[in-house]
């Protein structure tokens, strides 16, 4: 791991091992725990007021599953996390986030290490699966408004997780003036306008955690924090 960090500091391309993905998910869990009240507050305006508590429960279950089952490859880490989110998180967020991680995990396969390019492609697969499951597209005021610009940024510069996090944060902010077209928020019509989408916000948190796992350091990407 020391060699991994040194190569990263020198700007060299590095492969991503199982520890990297475990670290990413641990940072996701910590971020969701820290921001759960804010996520629920956002959800109270246009949803069921449970987004933060649901995700906190889900990522707690992910943390416990990773400690218990000790998956051996990056793909296995993400696939296990996706399954646990689907089985423990209520509402739409569990299946959607579970589909994202499980889809990416399956795309990575059984390799003990993956390249940043392979991760970018795998996350693209996961985001495509989310869009298919939810029937949404960018502009509908959903998590895709953060995820789509993030995976686009990664596709253009694999391994630049900080750029992906910035794109996701801006995508979450951009949902404020949008009218929701999917999910419970869509029932509000024009009243959904003026509120930041909680799913896009939590998606931006997860991409910011990816940047932190990649060595960008902790920080509030625009649109992620308060």
Residue 221 has pLDDT above 60, yes or no: no
Looking at residue 8, its pLDDT comes to 45
In a domain, 23, yes or no: yes
Looking at residue 69, its pLDDT comes to 97
Mean pLDDT of 77-89: 97
Please state the domain count of the chain. 1
Mean pLDDT of 136-163: 96
Asked if residue 34 lies in contact with residue 208, where contact means CB atoms within 8 angstroms, the answer is no
Mean pLDDT of 18-23: 98
State percent of the chain over pLDDT 70. Answer: 88
* Closest alpha carbon to 183 in 125, 140, 226, 123: 140
Q: To the nearest 10°, the Cα dihedral for 79, 80, 81, 83?
A: 90
Mean pLDDT of 144-156: 98
* Closest alpha carbon to 19 in 85, 81, 70: 70
Residue 1 has pLDDT above 50, yes or no: no
Confidence class for position 185, pLDDT limits 50, 70, 90: confident
Residue 192 has pLDDT above 80, yes or no: no
Structural domain range at position 70: 15-213
- Per the DSSP assignment, residues forming a β-bridge with 16 are 114
DSSP output for the chain:
-HHHHHHHHTT----EEHHHHHHHHHHHHHHHHHHHHHHHHHHHHHS-S-HHHHHHHHHHHHHHHHHHH---SHHHHHHHHHHHHHHH--TTHHHHHHHHHHHHHHHHTT-SEE-HHHHHHHHHHHHHHHHHHHT--TTSSSTHHHHHHHHHHHHHSTT-HHHHHHHHHHHHHTTTTPPP-SSGGGGGGGGGTTS--HHHHHHHHHHHHHHHHTTS-S---TTT--
Average pLDDT, the chain: 89
With tokens 């003990």, the residue in question is: 112
Mean pLDDT of 87-95: 89
CATH (domain of 159):
1.25.40.340
Residue 10 has pLDDT above 70, yes or no: no
Maximal C-alpha separation, the chain: 53
The 3 state secondary structure assigned to 154-216 is HHHCCCCHHHHHHHHHHHHHCCCCCCCCCCHHHHHHHHHCCCCCHHHHHHHHHHHHHHHHCCC
In a domain, 6, yes or no: no
Mean pLDDT of 142-149: 97
In a domain, 3, yes or no: no
In a domain, 220, yes or no: no
In a domain, 221, yes or no: no
Looking at residue 191, its pLDDT comes to 76
Looking at residue 188, its pLDDT comes to 67
In a domain, 171, yes or no: yes
Mean pLDDT of 127-134: 96
In a domain, 223, yes or no: no
Mean pLDDT of 9-38: 88
In a domain, 222, yes or no: no
Looking at residue 120, its pLDDT comes to 98
pTM of the model: 0.89
């Amino acid at each position: 791991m020391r060699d991994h960090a040194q190569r990263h500091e020198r700007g060299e391309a590095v492969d991503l091992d199982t520890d990297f993905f475990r670290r990413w998910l641990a940072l996701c869990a910590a971020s969701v725990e820290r921001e759960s009240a804010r996520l629920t507050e956002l959800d109270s305006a246009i949803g069921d007021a449970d987004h933060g508590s649901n995700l906190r429960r889900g990522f707690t279950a992910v943390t416990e599953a990773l400690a218990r089952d000790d998956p051996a490859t990056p793909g296995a880490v993400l696939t296990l996390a996706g399954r646990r989110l689907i089985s423990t998180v209520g509402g739409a967020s569990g299946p959607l986030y579970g589909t994202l991680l499980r889809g990416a995990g399956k795309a990575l396969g059984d390799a003990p290490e993956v390249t940043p390019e392979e991760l970018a492609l795998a996350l693209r697969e996961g985001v495509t699966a989310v869009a298919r499951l939810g029937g949404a597209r960018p502009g509908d005021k959903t998590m895709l408004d953060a995820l789509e610009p993030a995976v686009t940024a990664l596709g253009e510069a694999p391994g630049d997780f900080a750029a992906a996090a910035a794109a996701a944060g801006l995508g979450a902010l951009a949902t404020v003036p949008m009218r929701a077209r999917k999910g419970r928020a869509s029932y509000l019509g024009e009243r959904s306008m003026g509120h930041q989408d909680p799913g896009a916000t939590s998606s931006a948190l997860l991409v910011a955690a990816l940047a932190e796992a990649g060595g960008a350091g902790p920080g509030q990407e625009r649109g992620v924090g308060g």
